[in-house]
Amino acid sequence: MKNLLIVTLLFCSAQLSAQDAISRFFEKYAADESFTNVTITSRMFSLFTDLEIESKEDQEVLDAISKLKGLKILAKEDISNGKALYKEALAKLPKNEYEELMSIRDEDKDMKFMIKEKDKVVNELVMIMGGDHDFFILSLYGVIDLKQVAKLSKAMDIDGLDQLKKLDKGDEKKKN
């Protein structure tokens, strides 16, 4: 029984340390006024679900939003250390808890999408982008339907997440 308690405590502390690592990264730069810092809480997401629905696609987006717990964004433009911040942010993610979903290199920018999954349910999506002159990190957490995230990004006007639509194209090719 004592061993079970110790294993449980170790597991819980590992889970907390992963979120803490990301939170510490955000906190490290949140006070720096040269960064744009956005936090959306579950309460804000719940307000979206009160909107009138015009189409089936709108309903799908609202269903996806209703399962979200929060969104954090940290961004900085016109900088010289975007790639260094990108590497720092990636180093904070525990490799054993986050799986790379997709990576993109486009001109001077590197972008990675990482997910944290438990029991085949995505609980967190992290997008990190670093370029020669800009940096962006996003953490979306809750119960996440990856197929709806691209639609959600369009509805919320979040650059970068639209890249997830490429996953659907990959899924379609696998089916054919």
Instruction: Return the pLDDT at 125.
Output: 92
Instruction: Return the pLDDT at 35.
Output: 94
- Helix 82-92 vs helix 2-30: angle between axes, to the nearest 10 degrees? 170
Cβ contact 53:95 at 8 Å: no
Instruction: Return the pLDDT at 24.
Output: 84
Cβ contact 105:89 at 8 Å: no
Those residues whose C-beta lies under 8 Å from the C-beta of residue 157, and which sit 6 or more positions away, are none
Block means of pLDDT (10 residues each) for the chain, 176 residues, are 35 42 84 91 82 79 85 93 94 90 92 91 93 94 81 64 57 43
> Cβ–Cβ contacts within 10 Å for residue 98, how many?
21
Q: Cα-atom radius of gyration of the chain, to the nearest Å?
A: 17
* Backbone phi, psi, residue 153, to 5°: -65, -35
| pTM score | 0.74
Sketch the domain layout of the chain as residue ranges.
2-175
Those residues whose C-beta lies under 8 Å from the C-beta of residue 132, and which sit 6 or more positions away, are 80, 82, 83, 108, 109
Instruction: Return the pLDDT at 34.
Output: 92
Query: Which ranges of 31-132 does DSSP label H, i.e. alpha helix?
Result: 42-48, 56-66, 82-92
Structure tokens at 54: 């015009």
Which residue in 52, 46, 64, 35 sits closest to 150, CA to CA? 64
Instruction: Return the pLDDT at 166.
Output: 60
